[in-house]
Chain A
Amino acid sequence: MIGSIVRWVHRVLNGQDQSSTPFLKLSRSAVGLDAIVMAFYAASVYLAVNLIPQVTGLAETANEWNFVWVLKWLPKGSEPFLLEIIAIACAVSAVIALVARHMLWARLAFFVLFLFSASVPNSVGGINHPYHAWIFVSFIFVFLPNKTSDTMDRAEKMALATVIRTAQSLILLFYSMAGMEKLYQGVTALAEGGSGNLSWGALTWTLTDRAMQTGTTPILIDLVVNNTWAATIMMWGVIYVQVVAVVIAFRPSLHAVWAMALITFHLGTWALMEIIFTQHILLLCILFLMRPEPTSLRSLFTSLRFLPGLAFFLSKPRSLSAIGDTAGA
């Protein structure tokens, strides 16, 4: 019975997308997956180096801290010195993790030091979220196999694929959580007879509110505020793309499409709210768009038949074929 339930859940999640075969052709895929790991740590070097002046600047100008629990161990008075050391050590550990990514201690050291370093900007008042996803991916990557891809056996290659798939799933879960919060608020507001995310023109309230808080005039804001139909379509589209994102983790055919849709969303939030999640765009590129073979436009379009909630309408119904066969008999 449990096996039947598991198979049913699997069918619902992958929606007849048979490309979910992570454990076939392991030798070929392991090289590609290792490239993803390399790209992650290379990008980590860039982020860690960029954090050095940010952390040092905060440490030198801060006379009061609101440390998150991760940094509460710092001895009072030592913060400027220790935090700068931590930031530099983090950058060094990123380089080491890049060249020695098959070593557990290298990956673990980077995760711990990046957690410390990225927590500094979140210890001066409120908490912003540019680095949260990166922290979790660096944690997940601690569990990579401790071998180079050319020396891994079958089980280790499967482990490599599983770790990458876990990172992909968690990132998409973040988007689903964001989408579900919006959807829940929208449905609740409608049920109560009030205004919410699903209301006509709702996005214009969010955009103008944000513009007032930041004192900015994003490049496309007036265009959208003055055309509420565009704002409405955008909002409904964003909610759909975000809500179903975690399901896409189980439909590899749609990974590239969804990554590009989410990147478009992030570029849109810049054009409309001057909010940019550079780190998320990087992660989407690394985890979902790094493929050995270029993605063709045709394959992008044909993968749309696996869209969650729409696959039923877009897939060729097998029963009609059967009727056609029997009708001719």
Chain B
Amino acid sequence: MIMLLITYPVLAHFGPKEGRAEFYPFFDWSLFTYASNIRKDVVLIVREIDEKPLAEPTYFFDMPTKFSTAKKRDSAFGKFLDDYAFAHLGGQTEREMYLENILANRYLSEASSIKFDLAVITYDPIQRYKTGDVLKTTTLKSVEISK
């Protein structure tokens, strides 16, 4: 019993993660660990779908009628975006392309072609909750996918 109580946290924190958030299934149970009045989040900002530019750039999750993932607001997609951004920022090209392939064929499958920005938004959570405003948007890369 004691060995398990010692082994589990060691594997959870130091196990091989291979580009993922955890050494599955040894999770470190870091959930909502960070609280701050300034937060960042990785988002997709969609600019064009099926070769038709949108009236204005729109957050992916604000398109529930077009994308089923946006309708479900699946938190796993948010984590997937974090992995995608992490791979891009870390220069892990092969993993980035692998994840982009999954993004195109699973999460954005409703569109035959799409242009979007992978971006990081910085915001005050309470201000964003009450007014929708963000403090800053930093574009990591612009992507065009055609199938």
Interface of A is mostly: helix
Q: How many Å from the CB of B129 to the closest CB on chain A? A: 4
Q: How many Å from the CB of B91 to the closest CB on chain A? A: 20
Known: A195-B35, A195-B36. A124 touches B1 (CB 8 A): no
Q: How many Å from the CB of A182 to the closest CB on chain B? A: 6
* Binary contact track B42-73/A, C-beta < 8 Å → 1, others 0: 00000000000000000001000000000001
Q: How many Å from the CB of A125 to the closest CB on chain B? A: 4
* A209 and B22 within 8 A (CB): no
Q: Select A170's contact among B4, B61, B99, B126, beta carbons within 8 Å.
A: B4
Chain B residues with Cβ below 8 Å from A119 are: 24-25
Q: How many Å from the CB of B23 to the closest CB on chain A? A: 9
Chain A residues with Cβ below 8 Å from B77 are: 125-126
* A209 and B4 within 8 A (CB): no
Chain A residues with Cβ below 8 Å from B32 are: 182, 206, 210
Chain B residues with Cβ below 8 Å from A165 are: 1
Q: Chain A: which residue is nearest B6 at the CB level?
A: A173
* B39 and A209 within 8 A (CB): yes
Chain B residues with Cβ below 8 Å from A211 are: 129
Chain A residues with Cβ below 8 Å from B107 are: 125
Q: Chain B: which residue is nearest A58 at the CB level?
A: B106
Q: Which of B79-87, B112-120, B136-144 contacts A (4 or more CB under 8 A)?
A: B79-87
CA of A210 to CA of B41 in the docked complex: distance in angstroms? 11
Q: Select A70's contact among B24, B73, B79, beta carbons within 8 Å.
A: B24
Q: For window 197-215 of chain A, which residues contact chain B by CB distance below 8 Å?
A: 197, 199, 202-206, 208-215
B14 close to chain A: CB less than 8 A = no
Interface size class of B (residues with CB under 8 A): 35 or more
Known: A63-B106, A195-B37. A127 touches B73 (CB 8 A): no
* A166 and B129 within 8 A (CB): no
A281 close to chain B: CB less than 8 A = no
Most buried by A among B27, B32, B38: B32
Most buried by A among B5, B82, B99: B5
Interface size on A, residues (CB 8 A): 59
CA of A81 to CA of B8 in the docked complex: distance in angstroms? 34
A178 close to chain B: CB less than 8 A = yes
CA of A177 to CA of B9 in the docked complex: distance in angstroms? 8
Q: Which of A100-108, A129-137, A254-262, A304-312 contacts B (4 or more CB under 8 A)?
A: A129-137
* A66 and B99 within 8 A (CB): yes
Known: A129-B27, A170-B5, A215-B61. A177 touches B12 (CB 8 A): yes
Chain A residues with Cβ below 8 Å from B31 are: 129, 178, 181
Q: How many Å from the CB of B85 to the closest CB on chain A? A: 12
Q: How many Å from the CB of B28 to the closest CB on chain A? A: 6
Q: How many Å from the CB of B55 to the closest CB on chain A? A: 20
Q: Select A205's contact among B33, B37, B130, beta carbons within 8 Å.
A: B37
| 11 pairs, CB–CB < 8 Å, chain A vs chain B | A64-B101, A125-B79, A128-B75, A166-B1, A169-B4, A177-B29, A182-B33, A204-B125, A206-B35, A208-B128, A213-B73
Residues in A lying within 8 Å of B, measured CB to CB? 62-66, 68-70, 115, 119, 121-122, 124-129, 132, 135-136, 140, 162, 165-166, 169-170, 173-175, 177-178, 181-182, 185-186, 189, 194-197, 199, 202-206, 208-216, 225, 235, 246
